[in-house]
Amino acid sequence: MDFGLVLQTDPPASQVVSLMKRAERNGFRYGWTFDSAVLWQEPFVIYSQILANTRKLHIGPMVTNPGTRTWEVTASTFATLNDMYGNRTVCGIGRGDSAMRVAGRAPNTLARLGEAIDVIRDLAEGREALVDGNPIRIPWIKEGRLPVWMAAYGPKALALAGQKADGFILQLADLYLTEWMVKAVRAAAKEAGRDPDAITICVAAPAYVGDDLAHARDQCRWFGGMVGNHVADLVTRYGEHSDMVPEALTDYIKARKGYDYSHHGRACNPSTDFVPDEIVDRFCLLGPAEAHIEKLRALRDLGVDQFAVYDMHDARETVIDAYGAQIIPALAG
């Protein structure tokens, strides 16, 4: 199992770079950041510094979207980083939540997302693609490689990930939901004539190592609120009691009363009071190192290839070091 570190690009950027260097020293193979231009600093500028200060770490957004940048710009940016530092980037992409909504726009449609996945990958790898009906090829790209991993929750998005993406990003660590969603992605891949086992499965969730469960839950409760934004969209689309979406995912948002993006992804987010302890425990990895190892082994048995640690709480360095000393070695191989 591989491990990734997920950060917000809060200033100073030097601290983001420092944490990524620390992660690589501790055995993490991937470094991810949020991508929301209004809420945080521009990640692609910081990626250049992370890549320059690490040796093997693969870097990418978790996640970008097809609406805030034109597709040829996204492709060229990834390709430039790859040309400078070797093929060490991954394009995590989704419909767009905070990046679009904070700017007053709706998330992208799945049709637009599916088209963007193909175009961005083709352009970044040096092939011709149609952009707004015009054939474009970036001529200086030689031997470029850009895996595109898609974030998804709902049935149509899961199907699209199986049909198009090189990897699937699931932003929660609930065992039941992970099993259900991984099966949906792989079934869609098989139906599309693809090799289901060739799709990389990445689960991303907060991790907090320690014995004080009450404190750990409070530090990670924000995550249930963030996931709740996507779940609320699913309820709007499919209904509260739909056979298309498991009640294990939708039940907890009944007490949700809105969301303030100024606290997005932050500990002690006042918009997440509705999230019960049970959801925090199911969606996150909390407790002593042994508890993390046990749940990670269960995730690995479900086909998860990478666990990406959301490190937005008051113990960032502690968690990175604990994973490097105790948890990553136990899951190696």
Q: State how far the Cα of 272 lies from the Cα of 286, in Å rounded to an integer.
A: 18
Residue 227's pLDDT band (cuts 50, 70, 90): confident
Q: Which of 184, 123, 188 is nearest to 153 (CA)?
A: 184
Q: What is the pLDDT of residue 105?
A: 85
Query: 224 near 275, Cβ under 8 Å?
Result: yes
Residues 6+ apart with CB under 8 A from 134: none
Q: By CB neighbour count within 10 A (0-12 exposed, 13-18 middle, 19+ buried), where does 236 fall?
A: exposed
What pLDDT score was predicted for residue 233? 67
What integer is the mean pLDDT of 191-205? 98
Residue 229: per-residue pLDDT: 67
What proportion of the chain, given as a percentage, has pLDDT over 70? 90
Asked if pLDDT for residue 242 goes beyond 70, the answer is no
> Residue 235 pLDDT > 60, yes or no?
yes
The model's confidence at residue 299, banded by pLDDT at 50, 70 and 90, is: very high
Residue 256 has pLDDT above 80, yes or no: no
Name the 3-class secondary structure at 191: helix
Q: Give 259's pLDDT tier (boundaries 50, 70, 90).
A: low
Q: Has residue 241 got a pLDDT over 60?
A: no
In three-state secondary structure terms, 286 is: strand
DSSP secondary structure string for all residues of 125-158: TT--EEETTEEE--TT--S----EEEE--SHHHH
Please give the Cα distance from 259 to 281 (Å, whole number). 21
